[in-house]
Structure 1
Amino acid sequence: MIKVNREKSRWIIISFVVSVILLIVKFYSYYLTNSTAILTDALESIVNVVTASFASYSIYLSSIPKDDNHPYGHGKIEFFSAGIEGVLIMMAGLFIIYQAVYNFFFPHELEMLLEGMALIGFSGLANGFLGLKLKKEGKKLNSLTLVANGKHLITDTISSFVLIVGVAIIFFTGFYVLDSILSILFSFYIIYSGYFLVRKSVAGLMDETNPVAVSETVGVLNKERKDSWIDIHNMRVQQYGGDRHIDLHLTLPYYFDLREVHEEVEKVESALENEFSGVLEVFVHSDPCIPEKCCHYCQMKSCPVRQSEIRTKIHWTAGNMSKNQKHYHELADGQSS
């Protein structure tokens, strides 16, 4: 875990250094050209620098082990970090709209557009390479902060190259009012990308269901399913940064003794722990089966207390595993496999 956190910090530091360099390049490009459209790219680089700084702190904080005041650890700070990044992006977009509207009514001549395009192209390539790398490393290290930072840089790259096309049109046509129009269009795109990050941040802070995390958990449990696991219900999956917490109820034959129940619980825990990287906590509550209700879908072929034949096998899904009730109420039609 220490190695993982060091790797996260290393990539955030690289992101910060590159962002500072590209910030200087882009503002120099704006200084040369006096283009509001290029200013939009420069202002977004300020966001890159600020968020890289905050991301570094959030990764440090998320690496601190859980304590009495934070029983689930500090991983949620990564959601907060992504939210701050989104808000800053939206504020930059609103400022750009203001500047573009001003320049629309009070236009000014643009200069050295070719040199400006070349500098923006260089910064776009650098951002694109770094963004793809951060996104890849973020998924490998299970870091929302790195993934969010990478996606932001990739978005910045796309906007930079579309911006170059727009500035080229201005250069060849001499229609300078396009500079303001292009800036406003980019601003709406920037605001939308910022909103998307804020939306994801709020969802994480509010413990909104993560469909990907739930789907992965369901897949593992279906793959490792044992005949003695009559059903799994009331399952909750929470993702806090790189930490994952799974709670579930496991229905077992009522005649199992305490040792057998403990062994089955350990099998469930091991199946999940062996599949997922990072910090994983699994809490399993064991329930006894109800013979007159569970026998028809229980897969224990040698059950000594069976009261009815096996008539169906209920397929485990995110829907029936999240419900706070055993699966005996489900009918074979549309639920069995």
Structure 2
Amino acid sequence: MQLASYLKLSVAVALATIVLKTGAWWLTGSVGLLSDALESLVNLAGAMFALAMLTVAQSPPDADHPYGHHKAEYFSSGFEGVLILAAALAILWAAVQRLLSPQPLDALGPGLVLSVLSSALNGALAWAMLRKAREHRSEALEADARHLFTDVWTSAGVVLGLIAVHATGWLWLDPVIAIGVALNIVREGLHLIRRSTDGLMDRALEPEVRDQIRRVLDGFDQHSIRFDHLVTRRAGQRRHLELHMHMPADWTLGRVAAERGEVEQALMRAVPGLRATIQLLPMDVETHFDDAEPAAAGPPR
């Protein structure tokens, strides 16, 4: 299944869970279940925006964007984080009002059944989406999957809390649960915004990927070849590497090109989606752009 198909399925599941959770709130009058339903509205908006951004990210390069549109996925993560924070404020407002004026709950059993069913749908979809996101390094898909997992844990907390309300008769537990839900999704919203910001600011590749790059280069770092000024960055599903490759000045152009081709192919085999920019230099020449001091050879940044 393609990435876009998962997000389309996420939209459909969000619509179904909105109906189920709204029904659960309507039956019971629980502000905790109302908060759960509000979060599902965020799921719907987030999935729709993620689908739009994924479509943009997969567009081919053009004259105005010669490096492609891969970073569009980061806007999805940031947008969903902002939506989550807005939903948290709405939940907090409703919870405080109910805390000041507690109300009895009705038809708790059927309401909880609807809530559990919606959580099962979200959990199954989130698990499948997270696996696909990690396989293709999709920021939009991973953000949506993580939000769905947050929704599952939120629903579980609401259900357990409402069971406690039924067992103890403490009506104040219902709005307290809703406040806990709001604080939990605030944490998730801030996490998504931070991930989006990191991506837009060209965060370096993951440490394990940088180690893998170093191992590949170590296999060539012999026979009068050395590498330095290694810099990495992420752009959505794309991974980028820039480095200097030093070789003897008396090598022929054909030999130099062949060596660089072997390095590029080895790097792309080891790190799927990597785009390497290799500047060729004689062994005794250093080129510096914005470094105050010459950079020593070492692991990519």
**TM-score greater than 0.5 by the shorter chain:** yes
1:114 maps to what in 2? 109
Q: Does 1:71 align with 2:34?
A: no
What is the CA deviation profile of residues 5-26 of structure 1, one whole-angstrom value per residue up to 9, with x for unaligned ones? x711111111111111111100
Cα distance between partner residues in 2 of 1:23 and 1:270: 48
Q: Given the alignment, which residue of 285, 288, 294 partners 2:282?
A: 288
Deviation at 1:253, TM superposition (A): 2.6
Which structure 1 residue ranges, 4+ long, deviate > 6 Å from structure 2?
none
What is the CA deviation profile of residues 210-230 of structure 1, one whole-angstrom value per residue up to 9, with x for unaligned ones? 334752553452464342364
Largest Rg, 1 or 2: 1
Deviation at 1:281, TM superposition (A): 2.3
1:94 maps to what in 2? 89
Cα distance between partner residues in 2 of 1:70 and 1:244: 17
Structure 1 alignment gaps of length 5 or more: 1-5, 292-322
1:37 maps to what in 2? 32
Deviation at 1:162, TM superposition (A): 1.9
Cα distance between partner residues in 1 of 2:294 and 2:117: 55
Deviation at 1:140, TM superposition (A): 1.4
Cα distance between partner residues in 1 of 2:67 and 2:76: 18
Deviation at 1:204, TM superposition (A): 0.6
Percent identical pairs in the alignment equals 30
Retained in 2: the 8 A contact 1:233–1:324?
Answer: no
What is the CA deviation profile of residues 82-110 of structure 1, one whole-angstrom value per residue up to 9, with x for unaligned ones? 10001101110111111111111122221
Residue identity in the other structure for 2:268: E
Q: Does 1:146 align with 2:141?
A: yes
Cα distance between partner residues in 1 of 2:271 and 2:280: 22
Deviation at 1:125, TM superposition (A): 1.2
Deviation at 1:271, TM superposition (A): 0.9
Instruction: Trace 1:128-277 onto structure 2 (pairs within 5 A).
Output: 128-212=123-207, 214-215=209-210, 217-222=212-217, 224-228=219-223, 230-277=225-272
Structure 2 alignment gaps of length 5 or more: 286-292
What is the CA deviation profile of residues 173-229 of structure 1, one whole-angstrom value per residue up to 9, with x for unaligned ones? 110101111111111110000000000001111112233475255345246434236
Retained in 1: the 8 A contact 2:77–2:140?
Answer: yes
What is the CA deviation profile of residues 243-275 of structure 1, one whole-angstrom value per residue up to 9, with x for unaligned ones? 222211112233322222111111111012223
Cα distance between partner residues in 2 of 1:108 and 1:326: 68
TM-score normalised by the chain length of structure 2: 0.91
- 1:33–1:158: structure 2 CA closer, same or farther, 3 Å change rule? same
Aligned residues: 293
Q: Which has the higher contact order (CA 8 A, sep 6+)?
A: 2
RMSD across aligned positions (CA):
2.2
Cα distance between partner residues in 1 of 2:122 and 2:155: 9
Cα distance between partner residues in 1 of 2:152 and 2:214: 35
Q: Does 1:127 align with 2:97?
A: no
- 1:142–1:95: structure 2 CA closer, same or farther, 3 Å change rule? same
Retained in 2: the 8 A contact 1:229–1:250?
Answer: no
